[in-house]
Amino acid sequence: MERSGRSNDYLRQPGGVLVANWFEERCAASGPALDAPLALQPAAWLTSTQEQQRAAAAMRPTPAEPPASRFTPGALKTSLTAHGDPGEAPVSYWATLNSLAYGDKFVGMPRVQAFLFTGKNLADAKVPVSTTSLVATSTMRAAWMRDAAADPWTTTSASAAQAAALAAPAGRLQAARPGY
């Protein structure tokens, strides 16, 4: 295997022999130099290629112009996100997630499914028609409030119970803990 003539110089450096330098010397000994100027193509080949490209472009049919009724100056920027005919006014959807999930079948605002109806009633089958009864929740809430009033360890009644129970020894607790 051949060794680079400059390998000793680069071997003393911290990086060692650079691969690019070894490759340059190997190519210089075996073939054309890497920095040789590129051979230019003859002008006849270039002009004939350009003539072929021009002839092919002339034979291609020109694309048809879009009809004037389909194009309006302001429609281009909204055509990517618009639905329906660009000439029609946009339809506003007066529905929110809460009105779709928890509202009645008609609450004064048209539902989104009316605009997306495809002939099947699959979209309406997934939306609840009315809210469920809240009688059980209100009954449980009243029971929770009664339990919270009687339980001394809940947050609402614990402060009232602690204020009465710790009124007398409050001075001793603060004296026992420095910094309070």
Model pLDDT for residues 55-66, shown as the tens digit of each residue: 888 888 877 776
Whether residues 121 and 139 share a domain: the answer is no
DSSP string, 55-119: HHHHHSPPPPPPPGGG--TTHHHHTTT--S-TTSPPPP----HHHHHHS-S-SSS--HHHHS--S
Tell me the pLDDT tens digit for each residue of 64-91.
Answer: 776 665 555 555 555 556 566 666 666 6
In a domain, residue 103? The reply is yes
pLDDT for 49 equals 77
In a domain, residue 10? The reply is yes
Decide: 174 and 180 in contact? Cβ < 8 Å. yes
Distance CA 134, CA 102 (A): 12
In a domain, residue 81? The reply is no
Whether residues 124 and 149 share a domain: the answer is no
**What's the total number of domains in the chain?**
3
In a domain, residue 102? The reply is yes
In a domain, residue 62? The reply is no
> Residue 158: which H helix or E strand, with range?
helix 155-165
In a domain, residue 5? The reply is yes
In a domain, residue 24? The reply is yes
In a domain, residue 139? The reply is yes
Tell me the pLDDT tens digit for each residue of 120-179.
Answer: 556 556 666 565 677 888 888 888 888 877 776 666 555 656 665 655 555 555 555 555
In which domain, by residue range, is 13 found? 1-32
Coil, helix or strand at residue 98: helix
The burial class, CB within 10 Å (0-12 / 13-18 / 19+), for 111 is: buried
50's tokens: 């350009």
Distance CA 124, CA 104 (A): 12
Whether residues 163 and 144 share a domain: the answer is yes
